[in-house]
Structure 1
Amino acid sequence: MRPPLSHALAPTLALVPAPSLHERWFVSDEGLPTRWDQLFAGPTLAAVGTAVVVLGVVWLLWLLRGRRPILPGPMDLGASPERLALLLGWVPLLLAVHTAVPLFVSGVNGQLFTPNLGLAQPADAFVGLLEIGIGLLLFYGAFSRYAALALAGTWLLGLFLFGPVRLIEQTIFLGIAAFFFIAGRGPIAVDRVFGPWAGARERLLGLAVPLLRAGTGISLVWLAFTEKLLNLPLAARFLREYPDVNFLPALGIDAGTEAFVGMAGTVELTVGLLVLSGMFTRAVIVFLWLPFNLSLAYFGWRELVGHLPIYAAMAILLLWGQGGPRMLEALRAGLLPMAEKPVGGRGEAAHRSS
């Protein structure tokens, strides 16, 4: 049962609705395939055109500001390089925990990554065990690079089980896999026992966060098409089940389902392209946080668990911003192994000398 607060939150939630709503998590898409024949239809072209225009305006503003961000980063707010390095050293742990929890839940429930990718027997047992194993390795930070390869392999396995349309929606997991393969699991991990081979790949380190950003942005862009712009019947089914999400009637606007879905798809497409572009990243992430958090009161635990990976990606992108040499150097310093101390210290050495 939806909480009573949902009626109060729904209009606010829907002001920026699209990025936070995954229709297939809550309603079945049986008999409602993605309509690729609508790719060049008027409403889809209008949505794409609007997104491109917004992207162009943002690009001009980006150039006029000399590629400077709107919102300040940690160092602009007074963080020293040492403290920033310490903070960025926790980034892999943050991402690992936020990825492991949905992997555990999906593995136990016989799903691949998300609720709409339900597995049949015996694949559910095999894939579920794989997901739980990957989650444990990431959670404890043991053999993280192999866990990253296994996560990417699980995504590829999903291509054969569900087809490319469903799996491209989950490219955020490819971005996460790329991040861990390059950056490792950071200083707070079992991998530290194994020495430098389990740590970050320094020559590729500059790609770790951009690849995570790319995986996140592609997921948003693809979902804009497959759950909204190219699948109006699915969105209509979702709105029949959750009518409060459409806030337009509450504002006295007599617009139908098609208009609302078109607006939602346009917002999601635009935001996804902005995430991919890397322009004003912190401002885009702050905008995204509103719908992703407000939707929790309306959709509950399934929404929370399913969105944990993107919550982590958003937090990392908020810290990282547009990146740059100072951020990269801080990340490199934060991922370096902690200083090793000899077991036993001076007392043991003195005991041996005596």
Structure 2
Amino acid sequence: MFMASVLVVARIAAQSDALSRITFSPWNSKHHLEWYLLFLLVNLVFIHNLLEGEFLGPHFFVMPDVMMIGVVLQALVLILSVVSLLLTGVVLLVIALCGVVVFSFESGIDYFFEVAALGLAYILVSTRINALDRTCFARYELTRLADLAPTILRLGLGLQLITLAIHNKLYEPAATYFFLTEHPYYNFPQFLGWADFTHLHFALAAGVFEAAFGVMLMLGLATRYVLLVVSFFFISTGIISGLEEVMGHLPIFGVIAVLFVAGDRRSLDTNEAETLAPSPA
């Protein structure tokens, strides 16, 4: 039903100029406040990780003999973020690769696409936002590619949702099942009277919906509408689970802010082209 509503919104927006601009048109943000919000939220997560002795998240398994590598990399993100966004982006890419190659593929794949997309986005917007990057790396003409950064974030978030859905819910639902046995209130259909809706059913259904969200984000179907629904679920989960869950989702909220401001330039251009196209004689 939700997927049908996304297609309906996208179709109506394509035929209505006013709704098209609400759904797709970029918002004016000459001071890049949405990007600064993203940088702040990412830094808050790494500060929290360093204070708690974690790497990327509380469920990320790291062997003690390589934990110092994770500490150094996360500290570098915090230090470099006030100096150079481009170098910070490079470190984020290293973190994404280390997560799956050096530390634990099983844990790292749950963060890889999100962190890698953040790293690429940092690099692409670096010369547009950071004065030092603009001075030192102007010859690479990254400013011409800055408009691709929101697309990279959208694809990265979509891929991450699909990966989480397949890895933790569809292919290996055991972790989600045991989580639900400890927190049965998440399985709300049971509280609505569907006693036969088991925790395994909920895990599989959640995986299907999460994968669907990821696919729709990657396709750019009514992106703002999809982001509103995704935000609702993340906020609801944070309210129920508390601060620990909120901290893990902070970068996602930052990405959502950037995507909300960016809109969907491709869809808007397509609609305008259809509107301006001459009618057949």
Q: In which range does the TM-score fall when normalised by the shorter chain?
A: 0.7 to 0.9
Q: Distance in 2 between matches of 1:74 and 1:267?
A: 23
Structure 2 gaps, min length 5? 270-281
Aligned twin of 2:57: 114
Q: State the shift of 1:198 in Å.
A: 4.8
In structure 2, the partner of 1:133 is 76
Partners of 1:130 and 1:315 in 2: CA distance: 25
Question: Cα distance, 1:319 vs. partner?
Answer: 1.4
Query: Matched residues, percent identical?
Result: 20
Higher helix share: 2
Q: Could you tell me which residue of structure 2 aligns to residue 345 of structure 1?
A: none
Q: Deviations over 1:104-163 (max 9, x none)?
A: 22233332211111423232223112202212322x2x1221111111012111112344
Rg bigger for which structure? Answer: 1
SS in structure 1 at match of 2:265: coil
* Structure 2 letter corresponding to 1:313: V
Post-superposition offset of 1:195: 4.5
- Long gaps (5+) in structure 1: 1-49, 328-354
Q: Which moved more, 1:302-311 or 1:112-121?
A: 112-121
Question: Could you tell me which residue of structure 1 aligns to residue 182 of structure 2?
Answer: 241
Q: 1:197 aligned to 131, 136, 140, which one?
A: 136
User: Contact (CA 8 Å) 2:62, 2:104: kept in 1 or not?
Assistant: no
Length, aligned pairs only = 263
Call closer, same or farther: CA 1:143–1:98 in 2, change over 3 Å: same
Change (3 A) 1:326 1:192: farther
Counterparts of 1:71 and 1:242 in 2: how far apart (Å)?
A: 42
CA distance in 2, matches of 1:224, 1:75: 30
What is residue 109 of structure 2 aligned with on the other side? 168
- What is the Cα deviation at residue 168 of structure 1? 2.7
Shift of residue 252, structure 1, vs aligned partner:
0.7
Where relative contact order (Cα < 8 A, 6+ residues apart) is larger, the structure is 1
Aligned pair 1:305/2:244, yes or no?
A: no
Residues 131, 150 of structure 1: CA spacing in aligned structure 2 closer, same or farther, 3 A cutoff?
same
1:255-313 deviation digits (Å, cap 9, x = unpaired) = 22222222111111111111111110000011111111122222111111111100000
Show the counterpart of 1:33.
Answer: none
1:97 equivalenced with 2:47 (yes/no)? no
Name the SS for the 2:248 alignment partner. helix
8 A contact 2:86–2:133 mirrored in 1: no
CA 1:194/1:270 → structure 2, altered by over 3 Å: closer, same or farther? closer
Partner of 2:119: 177
Q: Given the alignment, which residue of 269, 278, 299 partners 2:211?
A: 269
Is the aligned partner of 1:157 residue 2:98?
yes
Matched, 1:316 2:236: no
Once residues 47 and 72 of structure 2 are traced to their aligned partners in structure 1, the CA distance between those partners, rounded to angstroms, is: 9
Distance in 2 between the 1:154 and 1:298 partners? Answer: 30
Residues 153, 315 of structure 1: CA spacing in aligned structure 2 closer, same or farther, 3 A cutoff?
Answer: same
Contact 2:109–2:163 (Cα < 8 Å) also in 1: yes
Q: More deviation in 57-66 or 236-245?
A: 57-66
Shift of 1:196: 3.2
- Give the alignment's TM-score, normalised by structure 1: 0.66
1:158 partner amino acid: G
